[in-house]
A = this chain, B = another copy of it.
């Protein structure tokens, strides 16, 4: 068998999936049923574009695709607005003189003449293919690696190294394949292809808005030393502008090796023009013209080719190294957990549009077109915390995206009869609601069903605000808060006041007709998560209003004028905040009822409910799914409240709710297990937490989540689960919480782990934390701007810049374990 690229011993995770060296995910053999899953799992991306982890030349049927951010388009006849997949400039094929293609077919079982392994380098986000073929002509190997550059967001680089018996002739083809995988129709039209000095350039425009997109391909052949290799003949065929291709024959030299490097450059008309400040769906967005886009792609491709693979990769790896320095969370003593966590962090990065403050972080990132490349509450609640605590500049950009799209939220609120801003459940380019009224399909009747994600799941509004609060509390960036933040905040407060109803019977404000975090139960009242988030958001609005009044009256005056804020509104925010009904824990059991009437529902568990399914594809939820009239919930809901509001309830209440809801939770959302894991970790129930953490973090590596729900494709990387893995590790096991005036680091280390090391940033300073069973070490660099107060298991420490502080052991050992 061809050698593995990943170093060291491989440890089996499950089935064909393994890990190695703390940084590598490996998989042996070729299984057609896992092609699509690996394409997501072995994705390479940089937040601007992402190329799926297939093998070069497999084509659209294998779900090969490069998804590019900021290219929303609705194909003719489709109800779905989605990001485009662009022509595949990494398409390649190697054929022996006998006409045998080296690559295995994606949809056929692995032939006996082959060995096939794919290793995924988490550190640099590269898939390495190792293929060996024993053919009648001799032994052939193909090694292929590919990265989407973190140093150049337009660039993907692929290198293939083929070994063959010296003197053999191989035919190599490289195309810009325009027939690409696309979930909901064709987006690109009017393709034009050209060759300029060896660069193939395809340009096309999107169907809905005429956005030009150009894709360029360079191809360089060398021997194993890097010396240029002349092809015997190169034929370029531009006849089909949707598939220009090159074909060349290479005679293998005495070293038996040919190295081909393909650069793929993607430029869109949006890349060259600043986005509008208040985007609206009915206002055409400016973009560069096709000529300029094509020219930019060509220039970038030439530069990339001239730079060469080694230098391109070095820049890419350096960018990742710098990022890992901030975001890495190192688990010691458990190579599987260590690797799986990093794998999640890498995917969390790939999903994040770090280069922009006008783009959302999609629920599937750029791994597939599912979920429309759009932000859900996931962005703020599951992905943002990692950035807030490690790279606050990225968090800031994501928060600014919500301000950038505030007009869309305002339009949604107005359309539904509310005041202020009601952020979209599915938020894309303009912030207008992308979630359609009907999308799941009743498998029994084939009829679309009405889900109320887009009008009843109102917690998204306070969720955004509470993310802003976390950011400001952690960074001290009151500039953002008082500028864009306050506008968002006040508009959300207005929305909340217009959403509530006062019940004369009890004199309290209620939240009616909700969809809480648990999506199986729609049309519920007084969901405690939604209530607490709303109360906190209104409180923040009042506090910011008061602070501005005291400290920056000019800004408040400007905002008041701009928003036509009535002076009485601030009092209405306070009145509703104070009057919102409180759902107290049951005095006897400590359990908080998930909504009014939840406890009266049929008390069965997920397994019993699953046994009632008549069709495995049935949606479990509203309006008529099997879970609707039972206590079975899709995901953490009360536990989500406990996760997001640490300290809000005493530990015994937290534990009571964890124990009450866990057996009733199906974990039908990838957000669910991490929430339970985090809360369990905070309680010191590390064995339970560790199990939930790992199962949650494996969702994409093992690809055991549903690919289709109610007829809608929902496959791809669960971006929120990736961000959640960081939270479980650092906020859960690491016990990190940022208070107004100090940092808390109160870790609980699973017994099986030797240690946990991570970095957090607080108010411009850095703290490197290393948790071991013997004690916790806190290191601050010398250039920290100020001392940092930290609560640790053995009490309060104040960390001066450039110091190392040893504290007592984490509390795990002394906690009664579950």
Q: Which residues from chain B contact A498 at a C-beta distance below 8 Å? A: 503-505
A278 at the interface (CB under 8 A from B): no
Query: A739 contacts the other chain (Cβ, under 8 Å)?
Result: no
Measured CB to CB, the closest approach of chain B to A531, in angstroms, equals 16
Contact B449 A624 (CB under 8 A): yes
User: Which residue in chain B gives the minimum CB-CB distance to A626?
Assistant: B447
> Can you name 10 extra interface pairs (CB under 8 A) apart from A450-B628, A501-B512, A622-B623?
A419-B505, A438-B629, A442-B624, A450-B629, A497-B504, A502-B504, A504-B572, A504-B576, A513-B513, A624-B624
A445 to B623, CA, bound (A): 14
Q: Which of A564-594 contact B (CB under 8 A)?
A: 572, 576
Closest to A450 in B: B629
Mark each residue of chain A from 440 to 471: 1 if its CB lies under 8 Å from any CB of chain B, else 0.
00101101011000000000000000000000
Is A220 on the interface with B (CB-CB < 8 A)?
A: no
Quick check: is A235 within 8 A (CB to CB) of the other chain? no
Any B CB within 8 A of the CB of A283: no
Question: Which among A444, A450, A503, A504 has the highest number of chain B CB atoms within 10 Å?
Answer: A504
Minimum CB distance partner of A613 in chain B: B445
Indicate if A17 sits at the interface (CB-CB under 8 A): no
Q: Which of A510, A512, A596 has the most CB of B within 10 A?
A: A512
* Segment 510-559 of A: residues with Cβ below 8 Å from B: 510, 512-513, 523
Distance of A628 Cα from B622 Cα, bound (Å): 14
Whether A497 and B502, one on each chain, are in contact in the complex, defined by CB atoms closer than 8 angstroms, is no
The CA-CA distance from A418 to B506 in the complex, in Å, is 10
Q: Give Cα A505–Cα B422 distance, bound, in whole angstroms.
A: 15
Out of B444, B449, B505, B572, name the residue touching A445 (CB < 8 Å).
B444
Residues of B within 8 A of A510 (CB): 501
- Chain B residues contacting A504 (CB-CB under 8 Å) are 497-498, 500-502, 509, 572, 576
Question: In the docked arrangement, what's the CA distance between A501 and B513, Å?
Answer: 13
Q: List 8 A-B contacts (CB under 8 A).
A: A419-B505, A445-B624, A450-B628, A498-B503, A501-B501, A502-B503, A502-B504, A623-B624
Bound Cα distance from A816 to B56, whole angstroms? 78
**Cβ-based interface call for A310 (8 A):** no
Contacts of A624 in B (CB 8 A): 442, 445, 447, 449, 623-624
When distances are taken between beta carbons in the complex, the residues of chain B under 8 Å from A512 are: 501, 512-513
Q: Hey, which chain B residues are within 8 Å of A449, CB to CB?
A: 624
* Given A447-B624, A623-B624, A503-B505 contact (CB < 8 Å): no
- A561 part of interface (Cβ distance < 8 Å): no
Q: Is A614 an interface residue (CB 8 A)?
A: yes
The 6 A-B residue pairs whose C-beta atoms are closest, nearest first, are A623-B623, A501-B501, A444-B444, A498-B505, A502-B502, A624-B624
For residue A596, give the distance in angstroms from its CB to the closest CB of chain B: 8
Select from chain B the residue with minimum beta-carbon distance to A501.
B501
Q: How many angstroms from the CA of A537 to the CA of B442 in the assembled complex? A: 42
Chain B, residue nearest A510 (CB): B501
What chain B residues lie within 8 Å of A442 (beta carbons)?
624
Of all chain B residues, the one with the shortest Cβ separation from A579 is: B504
Q: What residue of chain B has the Cβ atom nearest to residue A418's Cβ?
A: B505
Residues of B with C-beta under 8 A to A497:
504-505
Q: Mark A403-425, 1 if CB is under 8 A from B, else 0.
A: 00000000000000111000000
Segment 478-517 of A: residues with Cβ below 8 Å from B: 497-498, 500-505, 509-510, 512-513
Task: Report which residue of A500, A513, A572, A623 has the largest number of chain B beta carbons within 10 angstroms of its beta carbon.
Answer: A623
Q: How far is the CA of A73 from the CA of B523 in the complex (A)?
A: 35
* A596-B455 Cα distance, complex, nearest whole Å: 14
In the bound complex, residues from chain B placing their C-beta under 8 Å from that of A419 are: 505
Instruction: Give bound CA distance, A442 to B449, whole Å.
Output: 15
Min CB distance, A493 to chain B, in Å?
A: 12
What is the distance, in angstroms, from A585's C-beta to the closest C-beta of chain B?
Answer: 19
A 617-645 contacts with B by CB, 8 A: 622-624, 628-629
Q: Report the Cα distance A500→B502, complex, angstroms.
A: 9
Residue from the set A502, A513, A614 with the largest chain B CB neighbour count within 10 Å: A502
A813 to B242, CA, bound (A): 75
* Complex contacts, A500 vs chain B, CB 8 Å: 504
Q: Which residues of B contact A501 (CB under 8 A)?
A: 501-504, 510, 512
Greatest chain B CB density within 10 A among A505, A513, A596 is at A505
Which of chain B's residues have a CB closer than 8 A to the CB of A503? 498, 501-502
Residues of B within 8 A of A418 (CB): 505
Question: CB-CB < 8 A to A502: which residues of B?
Answer: 501-504
Interface centre among A444, A445, A509, A513 (most CB of B within 10 A): A445
| Contacting residues, chain B, for A513 (C-beta < 8 A) | 512-513, 523
Residues of B within 8 A of A509 (CB): 504
Distance in Å: Cβ of A496 to nearest Cβ of chain B: 10
Distance (Å) between the CB of A329 and the closest chain B CB?
45
Contact status B614-A445, CB under 8 Å? yes
Could you tell me the distance in whole angstroms from the C-beta of A79 to the nearest C-beta in chain B?
15
Complex Cα gap A46–B758 (Å): 85
Query: How far, in whole Å, are A504 and B629 apart by their CA atoms in the complex?
Result: 32
How far is it, in angstroms, between the C-alpha of A266 and the C-alpha of B572 when the chains are bound? Answer: 67
Q: Closest Cβ of chain B: how far from A535's Cβ, in Å? A: 15
A 334-373 binary contact with B (CB < 8 Å = 1; else 0): 0000000000000000000000000000000000000000
The CA-CA distance from A178 to B809 in the complex, in Å, is: 81
Q: How far is the CA of A194 from the CA of B405 in the complex (A)?
A: 86
Chain B, residue nearest A523 (CB): B523
A645 to B442, CA, bound (A): 41
How distant is the Cα of A497 from the Cα of B622 in the complex, in angstroms? 30
- Give complex CA distance A500, B512 in Å: 12
Most chain B CB within 10 A, of A418, A449, A501, is at: A501
Name the residue on B nearest A509 (C-beta): B504
Q: List the B side residues contacting A576 at CB < 8 Å.
A: 504
Residues of B within 8 A of A622 (CB): 623
Q: How far does the alpha carbon of A498 sit from the alpha carbon of B497 in the complex, in Å?
A: 21
CA distance A450 to B523 in the complex (A): 13
A742 and B342 alpha carbons, distance in the complex (Å): 86
With CB as the reference atom, state the residue of chain B lying closest to A502: B502
Give Cα A629–Cα B629 distance, bound, in whole angstroms.
22
Q: In the complex, what's the smallest C-beta–C-beta distance from A455 to chain B, in angstroms?
A: 10
Q: How far is the CA of A419 from the CA of B504 in the complex (A)?
A: 11
C-alpha spacing A505/B513, complex, angstroms:
17
Instruction: Name the distance in Å between A346's Cβ and chain B's nearest Cβ.
Output: 42
Q: How far, in Å, is A603 (CB) from chain B's closest CB?
A: 15
Kindly state the separation between the CA atoms of A572 and B450 in the bound complex, as whole angstroms.
38
Return chain B residues, CB-CB under 8 Å to A417: 596
Complex CA distance for A505 and B501, rounded to whole angstroms: 9
Q: How far is the CA of A745 from the CA of B497 in the complex (A)?
A: 51
Q: Which residue of B lies closest to A500 (CB)?
A: B504
